[in-house]
């Protein structure tokens, strides 16, 4: 409670003015029960009056049970003081602002496109094939706890202070090596740590497009990336997909036809189709974009999963001394999405610009989170977790594929592994099928969520990472029954 604004006058005794000031604060909710008052000595000093005057004011209020002095602790407003308040004479109507009318197009559009708000919500009684977030049962919590305590004791209070916009340096160094192991040269390149892929991609769109610019991507593609591009006013053009990935001839035609700012691709375990583009096609995509001078943003979000094959070289690895490929990685699927940590590796100038953008957005990604992650990675826990994940997801993936073949009548099944399957439906709109399945307590992601045109209307994505083997069989058989009925 402030006494600086108590201007004393000659008209009333001073102790009365002090009492009125405190009573006014109680009457108008400027204090709460148990608010502490300054000591009589302090207040006398602030107001430039004798201590006895303040003591008199406090004693009078205490006699009225409005304040209470607790020995050795100070003087406090009582709860009773609030019961004694006079009823407000003239109650103003509540202040209501129409925030909806004040919201800008960005916010309104973001809400309109928000699939969490607009699609069927998850509930316990559903078999849900909606999610592709990792199975938390596979996390190594003990190692995580150890990493937290160890990093905190090594770094001490430093790690709780502001850090570098580019990220936690040991993690950046680790990632340079990690990328080198993937075959991506760090020459003339830098790394910036981001709050997951999502922030990294949004920063790329913010920094390298203007509203009205053309951007190319696979169709269908990651819904969040689509939303980000649309919300920034970018004109998004889709390259159709086949079972081996995007159609390169069509991509080339579009590159010739439009002034494209960049192309966004997910070469491994593409979301939503699960397709892994082969090496020859990767080379073609790279060569074609290079020829047309159109940079590539490569999303490597789950390329480590690798069920059947050995490591497939990222497109960024073809760009040994060039600077046309920007690689965005994420620990959301292979480790913990809740940490929100990803990274961008690219040309030094790109990273320098993004460093400034990052500083404007949120200064830097949480240092303690980066520190824990670094420690976790150092301990080889990633490799151990990857082994558990590969085994568990592979089992679910192969089982789900068998179930789709057995129970459904698919037009096509896409997916080379990963956390999901993409199923084409014969003549049945996915939305209609979803409605029927929801009545039987099964849900999935309809293909239109990922698509730029009608091509996803007769397709669905089955997320497999959060369902058990039993749920997979039961859920897919229900989808199959509903499909039969609608055919």
Ligand X SMILES: Cc1ncc(COP(=O)(O)O)c(C=O)c1O
Q: Which residues bind ligand X (CB under 6 A)?
A: 132, 196-198, 222, 266, 271, 299, 301, 330, 332, 337, 342
Q: How far is the CB of 433 from ligand X (least distance, A)?
A: 22
Q: What are phi and psi of 430, to 5 degrees?
A: -60, -35
Residues linked to residue 218 through DSSP beta bridges, in sequence order: 239
Closest CA to 329 of 299, 364, 351, 350: 299
Q: Token match 């003990």: residue?
A: 142
Q: Which region holds residue 418: left if phi is over 0, alpha if psi is between -120 and 50, else beta?
A: left
Token pair belonging to 348: 């030094």
Shorter beta-carbon distance to ligand X: residue 330 or 367: 330
Task: Give the shortest CB-200-to-ligand X separation in angstroms.
Answer: 8
- Residue 37 or 304 having the CB closest to ligand X: 304
CB of 203 or CB of 442, closer to ligand X: 203
CA distances to 61, 77, 301, 424 from 40, rounded to whole Å, are 13, 14, 63, 79
Q: Write 30-37 long-range contacts (CB < 8 A, 24+).
A: 30/1, 31/1, 31/77, 32/77, 33/77, 33/78, 33/79, 33/81, 33/82, 34/76, 34/77, 34/79, 35/1, 35/76, 35/77, 36/74, 36/75, 36/76, 37/1, 37/67, 37/74, 37/75, 37/76, 37/77
Identity of the residue, 195 or 367, whose beta carbon is nearer to ligand X in the bound complex: 195
Residue nearest to ligand X (CB): 196
Report the distance separating Cα 13 and Cα 23, nearest Å. Answer: 16
CA angle 36/82/79 to nearest 5° reads: 55
Instruction: Specify the DSSP class assigned to residue 307.
Output: S
Name the residue nearer to ligand X (CB basis): 144 or 336.
336
Pick between residue 376 and residue 407 the one whose CB is nearest to ligand X: 376
Nearer residue to ligand X within complex by CB, 342 or 410 = 342
């Amino acid at each position: 409670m402030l006494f600086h604004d108590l201007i004393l006058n000659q008209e009333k005794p001073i102790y009365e003015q002090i009492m009125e000031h405190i009573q006014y604060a109680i009457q108008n909710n400027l204090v709460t029960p148990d608010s502490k008052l300054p000591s009589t000595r302090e207040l006398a000093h602030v107001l430039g009056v004798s201590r006895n005057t303040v003591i008199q004011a406090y004693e009078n209020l205490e006699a009225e049970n409005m304040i209470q002095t607790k020995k050795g602790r100070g003087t406090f407003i009582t709860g009773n003081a609030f019961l004694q308040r006079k009823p407000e004479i003239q109650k103003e109507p509540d202040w209501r602002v129409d925030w909806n009318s004040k919201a800008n197009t960005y916010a309104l559009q973001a809400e309109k496109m928000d699939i969490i708000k607009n699609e069927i919500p998850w509930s316990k009684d559903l078999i849900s094939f909606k999610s592709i977030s990792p199975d938390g049962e596979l996390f190594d919590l003990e190692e995580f706890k150890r990493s937290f305590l160890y990093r905190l004791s090594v770094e001490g209070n430093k790690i709780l202070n502001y850090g570098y916009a580019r990220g936690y340096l040991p993690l950046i160094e680790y990632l340079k090596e990690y990328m080198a192991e993937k075959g991506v040269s760090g020459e003339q390149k830098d790394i910036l740590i981001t709050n997951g892929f999502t922030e990294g991609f949004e920063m790329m769109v913010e920094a390298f497009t203007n509203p009205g610019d053309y951007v190319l991507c696979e169709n269908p593609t990651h819904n969040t990336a689509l939303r980000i591009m649309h919300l920034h006013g970018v004109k998004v053009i889709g390259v159709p997909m086949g079972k081996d990935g995007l159609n390169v001839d069509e991509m080339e035609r579009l590159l010739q036809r439009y002034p494209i700012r960049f192309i966004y691709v997910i070469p491994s375990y593409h979301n939503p189709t699960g397709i892994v583009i082969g090496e020859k096609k990767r080379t073609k995509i790279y060569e074609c974009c290079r020829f047309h001078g159109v940079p590539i943003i490569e999303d490597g979000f789950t390329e480590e999963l690798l069920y059947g094959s050995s490591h497939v070289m990222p497109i960024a690895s073809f760009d040994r001394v060039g600077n046309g490929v920007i690689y965005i990685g994420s620990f959301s699927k292979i480790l913990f999405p809740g940490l929100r940590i990803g990274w961008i590796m690219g040309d030094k100038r790109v990273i320098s610009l993004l460093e400034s953008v990052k500083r404007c957005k949120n200064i830097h990604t949480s240092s303690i989170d980066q520190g824990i992650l670094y420690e976790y990675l150092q301990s080889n826990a990633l490799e151990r977790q990857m082994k558990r994940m590969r085994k568990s997801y592979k089992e679910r993936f192969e089982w789900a594929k068998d179930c789709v073949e057995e129970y459904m009548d698919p037009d096509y099944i896409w997916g080379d592994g990963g956390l999901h399957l993409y199923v084409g439906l014969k003549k049945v709109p996915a939305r209609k099928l979803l409605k029927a399945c929801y009545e039987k307590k099964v849900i999935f992601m309809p293909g239109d969520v990922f698509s730029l045109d009608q091509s996803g209307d007769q397709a669905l994505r089955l997320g497999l990472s959060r369902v058990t083997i039993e749920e997979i069989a039961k859920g897919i058989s229900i989808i199959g029954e509903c499909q039969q009925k609608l055919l």
